[in-house]
Amino acid sequence: MSARLRGTLLPVSLFLALALVPVFAKLGPESFILAIATRLVILALAAMSLDLLIGYGGLVSFGHAAFLGIGAYAVGILSSHGIDDALLQLAAALAGAALFGLLTGLIALRTEGVYFIMITLAFGQMLFFLATSLAAYGGDDGMTLSSRSQILGHDLLRSDAALYGLSLGALLLCYLLCRRLTASRFGRVLSGTRENRTRMEAIGFQPFRFQLVAYVMAGLIAGLAGFLFANQTGFVSPATMSWQRSGDLIFMVVLGGVGTLHGAVAGAAAFLLLEEVLSHWTEHWRILFGPLLVLAVLFARGGIAGLVGGRRG
Amino acid sequence: MSLTLLALQALNGLQFGLILFLIAAGLTLIFGVMDFINLAHGVQYMVGAYLAAWFTAATGSFGLGLLLAMPTALAFGLLLEVLIFRHLYERSHLDQVLATFGIIIFLNEGVRLLWGSAPLSVPLPESLSGSIPLFGGISYPVYRLAIIAAGLGVAALLYGLVNHTRIGMLVRAGASNAAMVSALGINIRLLFTVVFGFGAMLAGFAGAMVAPILSVEPGMGDNVLILAFVVIVIGGIGSIRGAFLAALLVGLVDTLGRFIAPTLLRALLDPAAASQTGRALAPMLIYILMAAILFARPSGLFPVRR
């Protein structure tokens, strides 16, 4: 197989499998399968946006769940005030994510390496504590949504299949967008900066601007994921943006294969599968999950996409 | 807002800051010398607290419990170093973050399995319970003063160790150029292990010290870890002096902020709104402080020259 073919085989089969989920769901406990699959697609969307930063920008953000939280809280806060129009909520989610990304990016991107990891972690935590102190919106406990978002006044997302379809559509669209983006001049400057910042500066680029745009873009996609996430769970709480969730997202990216985009989808699937299987087995599933994570780092380099082949970037 | 209350809060802030320093000192040394980002440093603090709780319950004396907890925390840290961390020094920061994140998940669940989810409480040692009167007719718990004294003592000890001993010189040399130190015939692996064990013991000591005044529970190290990150980022990674000043700054700003922010806002807003905004704003203060400092100095207050 040529490298180009291998590079498309995995993503195409992944998306085909995801598209067939609603069909197979009819054979089993439909709402359960659709709920898991929707969760998978949404987390894959968030993880993919993180891969844009980690895999292409070399920017290890440990606060990416904050954007997920912003998207979810945009839905929660607006719907608690009686605004349940999806377009308004989505606009608020994206605006919030862009603003937060711009403000924190301006500071975090002045630093690099391990400082960047710690600062993004701290900013994520800042937002987490802000959410826990919002007594009007449930504080620590979070809040339950009365209904899913309405599209132009119609309750189109009420069926699980419709929400799944919307989520999958969003994932596919963002995937194609990100692929385009990383193959463009913009993406090359971003990868070039990861490889050697000084050289990029020497040939006349200002890497900071490119990194900031990438950081905000990733935040926007994760904000969109947060909007979907709130609709899927019907519940918004600070736990949506806990730092453990940021860690989980990094794990999905690494598990799937850094710098491949579709690897994040495979990583999210593997992560949820692990979680489901282990938690059926024992209540203390994390005691197995932790060592698995360590072993994955120590021994499985290149991730799932690396195993299947077609590593890009 | 009375002045005595402010003084009490300042003492609390100082105590909190010194605990943060004990944790941040190890973290910043480990990073400075080994270029290793150790998220699992927070669970060392938790392990220290659990060990203290366990040994205190077993021996019936907090002093003995503390005495036993320290070497056990050290041994535990060294065990982790030999089993896992040692294989990560050469890896990318991304790998280090992820592997140590896995250790956090494992240990948090591990203590839950061993001791349950319910918080443990550790009785205050008899001799250090009660309060003593301070200036201006206020009294302050003896035990918290003991923590302050212990924290300052460790800070002085560390200062002496790092600046005036041979091993301290090696640590400083390792922080600026580990490869060169190794080339000069120093066993850098051994130095790494020593620094790592020492850092783990300091975090364990901090956990053991706060065990009687905080609830000992799974996940107690996570928030402290993130605060310790804020501390070392503000102080400049690798700098003990920076960690000390930044820890006090963070401790004071966090404690006093929670106290002062609602009071100050009351001058601008009506009482209900002021207390709500104040409560929302106070936990964000240290992060805003961090952002402001980093905006002016991207590598912290006392960057280590490399």
Q: B139: burial class by Cβ within 10 Å (0-12, 13-18, 19+)?
A: exposed
Contact B290 A119 (CB under 8 A): yes
> Quick one: average pLDDT of B227-244?
90
> Quick one: average pLDDT of A100-117?
91
To probe the interface with A, which of B81, B109, B289, B304 has the most A CB atoms within 10 Å?
A: B109
- The pLDDT confidence band at residue A5, using thresholds 50, 70 and 90, is low
Contact B105 A286 (CB under 8 A): yes
Nearest-by-Cβ selection for B226 from A125, A134, A294 = A125
> Quick one: average pLDDT of B122-136?
80
More reliable by pLDDT, B59 or A158: B59
pLDDT tens track for A30-75: 888 899 999 999 999 999 999 999 999 999 999 999 999 999 999 9
Tell me: pLDDT of B97 over 60: yes
pLDDT tens track for A125-158: 999 999 998 888 888 888 988 888 888 777 778 8
Tell me: pLDDT of B48 over 90: yes
> Helix B285-296 to helix A114-132 angle, to the nearest 10 degrees?
150
Residue B222, chain A, CB below 8 Å: the answer is yes
Q: How far apart are CA B9 and CA A96, in angstroms?
A: 35
Complete domains list, chain A, with CATH: 3-308 (1.10.3470)
Per-residue confidence (pLDDT) for residue B216, from 0 to 100: 92
Tell me: pLDDT of B306 over 60: no
Tell me: pLDDT of A311 over 80: no
To probe the interface with A, which of B36, B86, B92, B94 has the most A CB atoms within 10 Å?
A: B94
Per-residue confidence (pLDDT) for residue B266, from 0 to 100: 78
Tell me: pLDDT of B305 over 70: no
Per-residue confidence (pLDDT) for residue A6, from 0 to 100: 67
> Quick one: average pLDDT of B263-290?
81
Per-residue confidence (pLDDT) for residue B122, from 0 to 100: 87
Show residues of chain B in contact with A287, CB under 8 Å: 106, 109-110, 113
Percent of chain B whose predicted confidence (pLDDT) is above 90: 51
Contact A133 B98 (CB under 8 A): no
Tell me: pLDDT of B17 over 70: yes
Per-residue confidence (pLDDT) for residue A313, from 0 to 100: 37
Contact A135 B279 (CB under 8 A): yes
Neighbours of A83 (CB within 10 A): 14
Residues 27-46 of B with CB under 8 A from A: 31, 37
Q: How far apart are CA A81 and CA A59, in angstroms?
A: 37
Show residues of chain A in contact with B113, CB under 8 Å: 284, 287
Lowest-confidence range among A23-27, A96-100, A236-240? A23-27
Q: How far apart are CA A104 and CA A215, in angstroms?
A: 9
Per-residue confidence (pLDDT) for residue B43, from 0 to 100: 94
Tell me: pLDDT of B234 over 50: yes
Tell me: pLDDT of A26 over 90: no
To probe the interface with B, which of A279, A286, A288, A299 has the most B CB atoms within 10 Å?
A: A286
pLDDT tens track for B98-126: 999 999 999 999 999 999 889 988 888 87
Show residues of chain B in contact with A104, CB under 8 Å: 291
Residue B98, chain A, CB below 8 Å: the answer is yes
- The pLDDT confidence band at residue A23, using thresholds 50, 70 and 90, is confident
Show residues of chain B in contact with A136, CB under 8 Å: 276
Show residues of chain B in contact with A284, CB under 8 Å: 109, 112-113
Per-residue confidence (pLDDT) for residue A312, from 0 to 100: 42
pLDDT tens track for A168-182: 999 999 999 999 999
Tell me: pLDDT of B88 over 60: yes
Lowest-confidence range among A203-217, A291-305, B84-98, B153-167? A291-305
Tell me: pLDDT of A220 over 70: yes
Contact A111 B108 (CB under 8 A): no
Contact A134 B102 (CB under 8 A): no
Per-residue confidence (pLDDT) for residue A78, from 0 to 100: 94
> Quick one: average pLDDT of A105-130?
90
pLDDT tens track for A227-278: 999 999 999 999 999 999 999 999 999 988 898 899 999 999 999 999 888 9
Complete domains list, chain B, with CATH: 3-116+125-296 (1.10.3470)
Owner of token pair 């920076």: B242
- Tell me the nearest-neighbour CA distance from A48 into chain B, angstroms: 16
Show residues of chain A in contact with B99, CB under 8 Å: 293-294, 297-298
> Quick one: average pLDDT of A10-14?
89
Q: What is the 3-state secondary structure (H, E, C) of chain B?
A: CCHHHHHHHHHHHHHHHHHHHHHHHHHHHHHHHHCCCCCCHHHHHHHHHHHHHHHHHHHCCHHHHHHHHHHHHHHHHHHHHHHCHHHCCCCCHHHHHHHHHHHHHHHHHHHHHHHCCCCECCCCCHHHCCEEECHHHCEEEHHHHHHHHHHHHHHHHHHHHHHHCHHHHHHHHHHHHHHHHHHCCCCHHHHHHHHHHHHHHHHHHHHHHHCCCCCECCCHHHHHHHHHHHHHHHHCCCCHHHHHHHHHHHHHHHHHHHHHHHHHHCCCCCHHHHHHHHHHHHHHHHHHHHHHHHHHCCCCCCCCCC
CB pairs under 8 A between A and B: 130
pLDDT tens track for A165-218: 999 999 999 999 999 999 999 999 999 999 999 999 999 999 999 999 999 999
